[in-house]
Amino acid sequence: MAQEDKIKRELDMIGIVLAKLMNMLMNKPDERIDGLNKMSIQLKSELDIDLQAILDMKHQEALNLLINTKKFTIEHLRVFANLLKNLARNNTEGNYTNLLNAKALAIYEYISANGKGTMYFDVELNIKELRNRS
C-alpha cells in the first residue's frame, strides 16, 4: 500500500510540474530564448529531465526514458508533447525548432498507437499539423 501511495504521489508530481511548465510557457510567449532556458532548467531541477538530451536521443530511446524511467502516463506524454510543440512555436532557431517538432511528433504518434482504444482528437490534429510541416 505504501508503494502504491508513493507511485501515485510521483505521478501526481509529474502532472503538476508539466502543467506548471505549460502555464509558464503560455503566459510568457514573448520571452522566446529566455523561456526556453527556463523550461530546460525547470525540467532538469523538478523532473531530472535534460531537455537537450531528450532531443538528442533517438525517438524510441526518449520514449523509453519518459515511460519506463520517469513513469510518464499517456496524459503526461500529451502534456509533454504539447510543451515541446509550443516551445518550437516560440523558438526562433530553425534547427532547434525542427528537433522540438520531431520529438513532439514521435510522442504524439506513440500516444495515437498506444492510447488503449482512446481516440485523442487533439493528438491526431497535432500529428497532421506536424507531418505537414516536415
Residue 29 has pLDDT above 60, yes or no: no
Q: What pLDDT score does 57 carry?
A: 96
Model confidence at 116, pLDDT cuts 50, 70, 90, reads confident
pTM as predicted: 0.82
What is the distance, to the nearest Å, from the Cα of residue 34 to the centroid of all Cα atoms in its chain? 18
End-to-end CA distance of the chain: 47
How far, in Å, CA of 59 to CA of 91, rounded?
21
For residue 56, what pLDDT is reported? 94
User: Helices 94-114 and 121-133 meet at what angle, rounded to 10?
Assistant: 140
Confidence of residue 79 (pLDDT cuts 50, 70, 90): very high
The predicted-structure confidence for 50-69, as pLDDT tens digits, reads as follows: 999 999 999 999 999 999 99
Specify burial of residue 77 (Cβ count, 10 A radius: 0-12, 13-18, 19+). Answer: buried
Q: For residues 17 and 46, is the Cβ–Cβ distance under 8 A? A: yes
- Name the one residue in this structure whose C-alpha cell is 538528442: 56
pLDDT value of residue 40? 86
30-39, 75-84, 98-107: least confident range:
30-39
